[in-house]
Each structure stands twice: as C-alpha cells, then as structure tokens.
Amino acid sequence: MSDRPAIAASELSATYGRRPVWTGATFDIPTGSFTAILGPNGSGKSTLVRLVLGLLAPARGNLKVLGEDPQRGNPRIGYVPQGSHFDPELSIRGRDFVGLGVDGHRWGVRITGREQAREAIERAIVSVDANEYAGRQLGRLSGGEQQRLLLAQALVGMPQLLLLDEPLSHLDVRNQQAIVQLISDVARERRLTVLLIAHDVNPLLPHIDHVLYVAQGKLAMGKPSEIITSESLSRIYSSPVEVLKDSRGRVFVVGLEEEVSHPHD
Amino acid sequence: MTESHMRAIRLVIDNSSPQLSWNPLDDLAAIFHYEFMVHAFQAGTIIAVVAGAIGYFVVLRGSAFAAHALSHIGFAGATGAVVLGFNPIFGLLAFTLGAGVAIGALGTRLRGRDVTIGIVLAWTLGLGVLFISLYRGYATEAYAILFGEILGISTSDVAVTLVAGAITLVAVVAIYRPLLFSSVDEDLAAAKGVPVTVLAVAFMAVLAVAVTEAVQVVGVLLIFALVVTPAAIAVRFTSRPAIAIATGVGLALAFTWLGLAIAFYSPHPVSFFITSLAFATYVAVRIAEPLSTRMRSTTANATA
C-alpha cells in the first residue's frame, strides 16, 4: 500500500445549492482499501461522490483525489452512477455500452484503436463474467446482469479508483453477495481503491476495510467494528443511536433516520 | 409549384396518366423521364438518409415527441415567411432551430418537458392559423407545408437540400460517440466529462435542420413517418447502434423510393404512400415479433 491516500479530505464542507449538506469532514481513504459509505437517505452520500468526481466544487476545505485536485472526466476513476437500470426498450448491446467506457467521451466516431478498444472491452466483460449476455440488449437483461456490465464499463478504462453509487439497491440478496464478492476480488487483483455507497452494510461486512458514515451533517470514518456500535454512533451524532444484531449476525442501525425529510427519496 | 400543378402539367404533356406496362424497366425509365421526378428522387434520397440516421438518436433519447413538435412549431415559421413574402423554408428553419435549442436547453430529465413543449406547440399552431388567414393567396402554400411538396422541387432546392443534408450528417458523425453516451446514461456521461447540456442543444439543432429538410417530402404533419418510424422499426431488429442506423436509413430510402414510384402511377399523393408504407412495415414487424419470439421459445423448450 502506497503512502499517499487515494482520497484525502481536510475540513471539507459541501453545500447543495445554498443548503449545507455536511461540514468539517477530515478523512483519508488509503490506496487499495474498500470503503463503504453508509448513512440515511438524503444525508449527502452521493454529494461526496460528486465532489470526488469533480461534478461539484467543495464549499470549503480541501480535497485531493489520487494526489490531485478533483477533475471532471478523470480517466483514473471508474464510476457507476446511482439508479442505473436501463429502459427495456433502450436499443444498445451490453458490449457497446461497455465500449462507451473506453472512448464514449471522445468526439466523432471510433476510427483508430478499434482493435485495442475491442480487446479492452472483451477483457472487462470477461472480468465480470458477463460474456454470455454481453451481446444482448442492455435493457432486457436482469438487474444483476446490468450491474455487472455497469461494473465492466467502470473497469474498462483501467482505473485506480472505483466509485459505486448504490450498486446493490435493486438486487436480491444472492445477487448482492455475488456482486460484492466480484468487486472485492477485482479490486484486490488490480489493487483498486473502492468507495461503495450502500443502504445495508450487511452484504458488505465480510469485505470492507472502512466505513464512512454520513448523517446529520457530519462524516465519520473508521473500521466497521469501531464505527457501527451503539456507543460510537451515539457519541458521533450526539443522539441515542442503537445498533442491533439479529441471530444471524446481521446489524441494524436505528435512530439516525429521524432527520430525514424524504425517507423514500 | 404544388403536386396538383405538377400533375396537371404532366397530363397536358402526355395527354394521359402514366400507365404501367408489362416491362418493369420501361416503367422505371418512364419515371425518370420527367425532371420533377428526378428531382424528387434526388431530394428524397438525401432526406431519407439524413432522417433515417438521426432517427436512431431520436428513438434512443425518447425525443419522438420533441421531433414531432419541432415540425409543428416550424409550421408557424413557414406560414409567417409566406405572409412576409419569403421562401417558407427559411421561416421553417428559423422556428425549428429556435424551438430545438430551447427544447435542448430544457434538458431530458426535466419532468413535464413534454407538457411544456406541447403548450408551446399549441400556441405556435395557433399563430400558423393566423398567418394563413393573413395570406390572401391560395391555401396551396399552407397545404404544401402541412403535407409535403416533393413533386415541386427545383434544381436549386435539390442543391440546398444536399448542402443541408451534408451539414447534418457531418454534425451527427462529429458528435456521434458523446451523443450516444449521453443518450444511454446522462449521469455517467457527465461524470466522464461529456458536456451533456451542450450536446442536448446541439442534437436538437441538428434535428431541427433535418426536420426542416424532411418537411419538403412529407410535410410537418407527417414528419414521424421519416424521422421516427424507420428508426423505431430498426431498433426492433438490432441493438447494435451502427447497424440500427444503417437499417433506419435503408428503410427510410425504401419508403421514399417506393412511395414516389407508386405515386407516379396513381392519382394519389406521395405523402400518403410514404406514410402508409412506413406504417404497414411497422405494424407487420410488431405482429411478427411476438410470433417469432413464441416460436423461438417453443423450439428452445422442445430442444431442452
């Protein structure tokens, strides 16, 4: 693991329009680590991702991404946006969609580098085990299949950092576990830093190194076992938070949702 | 000159309506015997290529209503130009371009975008009606704008269409990849550095030029048949973008050429045949599709 963190934030604050989302965040995401971003709806998890992508400027503080200021269209970042499930009528093959990750941002049509592009696309498709259905229409594939191709698209440019905004939210438990395992394997193999936004920490627990908790205008980072406890969350958010454990070892956080104005956002 | 004028001239020259012979080559040669038919085929071919190509993006972006609205909004521009004594094509272009840029700037994600477009559309059609009433000539100009006038195309019209068509195609090629990207997933494209709003505006501007061209063939009311239907059929056959575009172009060409040829030997308007061919093909594909899927799944079950 190199010394420079993949993402370094100091006294970072974000606003949405003029409304402050969260303030005073200081944290380092070590290179090659797998971090889950957790927190209630509307707490500003996606805002953090937008800052890292350079789509939003910090209101205050300092943010370094892979040692540099955030820049839009950074080729070293692979991204899967939130709510990406495609219209069934959307007429494009999975393979062509992955190809957009190679050079979709360039003007004109692909003239040179066809062979390299084709090879990169096939490698990415194989790495997510999507060979069987990559030639089919993207919108007609299942949620899990679409998610794998979204991941292939994010991986095709050989990024160093993966930003995944709720990649598990439309999947059943079995698919959630399979996708997390896949992300974890690919990341370890390629020494990728992964930031993954999730609603439910449980499918992630066996794989993640850190948790970045976003709630009530504050960010808190640490090891899952340190952060996701009643004492720790209650102290960070100065309100009674309870972390419950069921018989199968799954954890549930209760008490941070109260501030949410649109619970079904 | 309108279609009816041309037909009248043709009847005077020939002293009879063209009759089909038993030799298809002779029949084909007879069509190209007339300059206005040669012009119609030339302009129709250019327009079919442009409309078929841009249609894929119209379907992919879910902008069919916007395309339809553009042409209707253009109607007010065209009739306004007629009142002021200009060539209606310039009024048409000015209005479709203005509307296209405005619609593009509204963004694809804005909920109720179609409602906004519809409200503007209704008002501009009202304007169009006013302009028709102000123009004290024949209503034939308005009729030509509404339903197309491909049989009245001059040599200079063909040249203008060729230039406009070439510009449109070059523009589509120039923005091809980022346009495809932002049409498939706008959030992802934006994160990858694609200027999605600029592209949305640019696409609508290109569409406005294409629609203006296509109005010459099928008129503002029937624009769907050339700009949307061929692409809508094509995407039912293939989900490979390049092949979908090629198929759309092929279908638009087939509808235009066949429509022109049939109309030559019949007393009915070209627009009717082009739109009917497009519609019939679409219906046939929609009927055949579930049948073939069912057959495929029965075969799959039988072999399983």
| Tally of domains in chain A | 1
For residue A128, tell me if it sits in a domain: yes
**Chain B residue closest in CA terms to A108:** B174
DSSP state, residue A167: T
Give CA separation, A117 vs A162, A220, B209, in Å: 20, 40, 33
Distance from CA of A124 to the nearest CA of B (A): 17
In a domain, A256, yes or no: no
**A201 in a structural domain:** no
Quote ipTM for the complex: 0.90
Q: Is B215 on the interface with A (CB under 8 A)?
A: no
Q: Which residues of A touch B192 (CB under 8 A)?
A: 73, 79, 101, 104-105
Can you tell me the distance from the alpha carbon of B190 to that of A104, in angstroms, rounded to the nearest whole number? 11
Question: Could you say which of B187, B191, B240 has the minimum Cβ distance to residue A93?
Answer: B240
Find where tokens 């020494």 sit: A191
Contact A103 B241 (CB under 8 A): no
Burial of B210 (C-beta count, 10 Å sphere; 0-12/13-18/19+): buried
Domain range summary for chain B, segments of one domain joined by +: 35-223
CA distance A211 to A205: 10
Q: Which residues contact B21 (CB under 8 A, 6 or more apart)?
A: B27, B30
Mutation site for B-interface testing, chosen from A77, A86, A90, A100 by largest number of B Cβ within 10 Å: A100
Nearest to B241 among A72, A92, A105 (CB): A92
Domain presence at residue A99: yes
Q: Is residue A127 part of a domain?
A: yes
Residue B136, exposed/middle/buried by CB under 10 A (0-12, 13-18, 19+)?
exposed
Asked if residues A124 and A152 have their Cβ atoms less than 8 Å apart, the reply is: yes
Q: Do B177 and A84 touch (CB under 8 A)?
A: no
Instruction: For chain A, say whether B187 makes contact (Cβ under 8 Å).
Output: yes
Q: How confident is the model at residue A64 (pLDDT cuts 50, 70, 90)?
A: very high
CA–CA separation, B105 vs B272, rounded Å? 34
Closest CA–CA distance from residue A174 to any residue of chain B (Å)? 26
Range of A146's domain? 77-158
| Amino acid occupying residue A137 | Q
- Look up residue A48 and give its DSSP letter: H
Residue from A105, A161, A162, A165 to probe the interface with B (highest B Cβ count within 10 Å):
A105
Q: Indicate yes or no: CB of A81 within 8 angstroms of CB of B185.
A: yes
B58 at interface of A, judged by CB pairs closer than 8 A: no
Q: Give the H or E element holding residue B35.
A: helix B35-60
- pLDDT per residue, tens digit, chain B (304 aa), is 455 555 555 544 454 457 788 788 888 888 898 999 999 999 999 999 999 999 999 999 988 998 889 988 999 999 999 889 888 888 999 999 999 999 888 876 666 788 888 888 999 999 998 998 888 766 677 788 888 888 888 898 899 899 999 999 999 999 999 999 999 999 999 999 999 999 999 999 999 999 998 888 888 888 889 999 999 999 998 999 999 999 999 999 999 999 999 999 998 999 999 999 999 999 999 998 877 776 666 655 554 4
Q: Looking at the domain assignment, is residue A233 inside a domain?
A: no
How far are the Cα atoms of A211, B25, B151, B257 from residue B40, in angstroms, in the given order? Answer: 68, 19, 6, 9
Give the span between the Cα atoms of A17 and B229, in whole angstroms.
42
Hey, are the CB atoms on A153 and B188 less than 8 Å from each other?
yes
Q: What is the CATH number of the domain that holds A87?
A: 3.40.50.300
Residue A149 lies in a domain: yes
Among A92, A147, A195, most B C-beta atoms within 10 A, so best to mutate, is A92
User: Which 8-state DSSP code applies to residue B236?
Assistant: H
Give the pLDDT score at B303: 46
Whole-number Å distance between alpha carbons of A153 and A175: 18
Strand A218-222 relative to strand A210-215: parallel, antiparallel, unpaired? antiparallel
CATH number of B35-223: 1.10.3470.10
